[in-house]
Structure 1
Amino acid sequence: MKIGIIGAGSIGLLAGAYLGEQHEVHMFVKKEEQRKTLAEEGIICEQFTKPVPVYAHLVTQMREGYDLWVVTIKQHAMDDFLKQDLPSDAPYLFLQNGMGHLEKLSQTGLKSAVGVIEHGALAKSSNEVDHRGIGNIQIAVYRRMEPNHGRSLAKELHTANFPVVYKEQYEPMLKSKLIINTVINPLTALFSQPNRSILTNPSINELARMLCKEACSVLGLSFLEEWERVKRIAETTGENHSSMLKDITENRLTEVDSISGYILDHGKYPLPYHHFVVHAIHALEYERGIRKR
């Protein structure tokens, strides 16, 4: 397939490297400097013996003629992205944290699938990514796509080294990932700790448990099941740093509003732990000059 990947952060680079083994991959980025590096040097990933060659373009150069678009940009960049005059002849696979993008996508005419990523990845430069934890990508049809199209898409993308799993329903898939993100991300960012701190630090563990309980009550999920899932992820990705911690460390705006803020916005009663972490992350962003009043 001819695949366009929008965004070349850690997930975009990881997807570009693995999909580039089997498909014609085109990376679409915002900055000319990154475009040039990708075009000249390809994507470097330590799991590969040599760089994976890709085509590279600026995001403003999106055109028709592709078989699939994979969108890996952050939630807070979605509004500007969707305002573009986007090609509509191919389906889009959106790989964002949180669930805030669903309403935005429902207002477009795009054929869309959504997915969650269970890989760990760290971008080491504009074209180099470290695969920190092997997992899978789960995808489900969202709007204006037939289920059979989603199944065939997952089958075409799937490889043994980069599994892609089709899910019949998007909502349970996204909700479970949102629970993990709203528990692990803000706490590891606030305390500058790796993911395993959710298990090893008794006080962080208690905060994590209460965040999980609040989120499950809002999303209608079983606390016992989701808490066990959170603990498993914290263990398997123990030495990894969450994306929110990396954003804070590198002075970038976080996705706390579309993760923890989503839970807060959809609660029908007070959620003190989510209220605290949202405002605590906002405070860190404000002190670093990356959030305005």
Structure 2
Amino acid sequence: MNITILGAGSIGSLWACHLANAGHNVSIWSNKPEKSETLLILDNQNPKRFITNSVLQLKSADVILVTVKAWQVKGAISALLEHLAPETIIVFMHNGMGTMDDLPVSLYEHPIVLATTTHGAYKPSQNSICHTGFGSTTLGGYNNLGQRCHFLSDVFENALPSVTWSDSINKALWDKLSINCVINPLTAIHQCLNGDLLQEKFSTLVVQLVSEICAVRHAEKFEINSDVLLTSVHQVISATAKNHSSMQQDISHKKITEIDYINGYLCKVAQRHGISVPTNQELYSQIKNIEQSWS
């Protein structure tokens, strides 16, 4: 297939290399306007070169895989729409929820697929990617056209397993959001590794966050038992103990975070249902204060 990766960050670069290894014609679209070439080195593999910012590649793309940060999604995909064929499938794979609410109406002429992944990746330099944690990926259709794209799970599975198709992608997204609402802001504020959150000093905060998340999920009809979610949070923390979360990395490099689409999104949904989520709100405010301090 002809696949264009929109956003060559850690996850986008990881998928670019694996999809290319699986035999697909992969190109990259970055925020640099000029047509060029991107060199990527995944772990200890041989370097791979990708055509970058080619309109010709966009026009022939079967799939656009959107891996930019949540706050970049609207601007990034809107700039490409005029070049895409109506049948081009657009797959959104980023942290957080709420980005689909602000996208152009013309986007819905395309098959839209949402994705969530638990793979971990890190870019120690512009051209190198480290696959820091093996996980799984879930895909699901967002609109009627997207719901017909079950075959994509096989395409992605052959590139980087394991991949499953879900007819209830929003549950998978809520599961990922629930984990992110705990790990991301805490590691970002305290500038620590994921595994550090298992320390006793974080235990009360984690329990409070989980309780609030479960209340909001119940209101949204995506119920989960608080003990089950707490166990899942601890399992992910343990499995990614040596990882730096994406938000921790963003704060470390003084970059805008995805907090508006993680704890910020949870707070918005909570407000809509009249649910109090003071712990999530406090973490949201702390991250926003850090971001504002840079200016």
Using the size of structure 1 for normalisation, the TM-score is 0.90
State the SS of the aligned residue for 1:44: strand
C-alpha displacement of 1:164: 2.1
Contact 1:37-1:126 within 8 A present in 2 as well = no
RMSD over aligned Cα atoms: 2.0
Residue matched to 2:250: 247
Residue matched to 2:192: 193
Q: How does 1:29-40 map to 2 (within 5 A)?
A: 29-31=30-32, 36=36, 38=38
C-alpha displacement of 1:145: 2.0
Inter-partner Cα distance in structure 1 for 2:146 and 2:184:
33
C-alpha displacement of 1:226: 1.5
Provide closer, same or farther for how the CA distance between residues 144 and 160 of structure 1 changes in structure 2, counting only shifts above 3 A.
closer
Using the size of structure 2 for normalisation, the TM-score is 0.89
State the AA in 1 paired with 2:207.
Answer: R
Provide closer, same or farther for how the CA distance between residues 47 and 230 of structure 1 changes in structure 2, counting only shifts above 3 A.
farther
Question: Does residue 276 of the first structure (1) align with residue 272 of the second (2)?
Answer: no
State the AA in 2 paired with 1:197.
Answer: D
Contact 2:4-2:58 within 8 A present in 1 as well = no
State the SS of the aligned residue for 1:239: coil
Inter-partner Cα distance in structure 1 for 2:234 and 2:70:
25
In the TM superposition, what whole-angstrom CA distance separates every residue of 1:109-149 from its partner, at most 9, and x where no partner exists? 231000111111001222211110011221111113253x3
State the AA in 1 paired with 2:209.
Answer: L
In the TM superposition, what whole-angstrom CA distance separates every residue of 1:207-241 from its partner, at most 9, and x where no partner exists? 12211111121012321221111111100000101
C-alpha displacement of 1:172: 0.6
Inter-partner Cα distance in structure 1 for 2:203 and 2:10:
27
- Unpaired runs of at least 5, structure 2: none
Question: Does residue 80 of the first structure (1) align with residue 75 of the second (2)?
Answer: yes
In the TM superposition, what whole-angstrom CA distance separates every residue of 1:153-179 from its partner, at most 9, and x where no partner exists? 111221275332211211110000000
State the AA in 1 paired with 2:62.
Answer: D
Residue matched to 2:172: 173
Inter-partner Cα distance in structure 1 for 2:182 and 2:215:
14
Inter-partner Cα distance in structure 2 for 1:160 and 1:10:
16
1:219 to 208, 217, 220: 217
Q: How does 1:124-163 map to 2 (within 5 A)?
A: 124-145=124-145, 147=147, 149-159=148-158, 161-163=160-162
Residue matched to 2:111: 111
State the AA in 1 paired with 2:28.
Answer: M
Provide closer, same or farther for how the CA distance between residues 95 and 176 of structure 1 changes in structure 2, counting only shifts above 3 A.
same
Provide closer, same or farther for how the CA distance between residues 62 and 251 of structure 1 changes in structure 2, counting only shifts above 3 A.
farther
State the SS of the aligned residue for 1:138: strand
State the AA in 1 paired with 2:52.
Answer: A
Contact 2:254-2:294 within 8 A present in 1 as well = yes
Inter-partner Cα distance in structure 2 for 1:160 and 1:65:
21
Contact 2:207-2:230 within 8 A present in 1 as well = yes
- The sequence identity of aligned pairs, in percent, is 27
Residue matched to 1:46: 43
C-alpha displacement of 1:103: 2.2
Larger mean Cα displacement after TM superposition, 84-93 or 168-177:
84-93
Contact 1:2-1:66 within 8 A present in 2 as well = yes
Inter-partner Cα distance in structure 2 for 1:225 and 1:210:
14
Contact 1:187-1:208 within 8 A present in 2 as well = no
Inter-partner Cα distance in structure 1 for 2:49 and 2:286:
42
- Unpaired runs of at least 5, structure 1: none
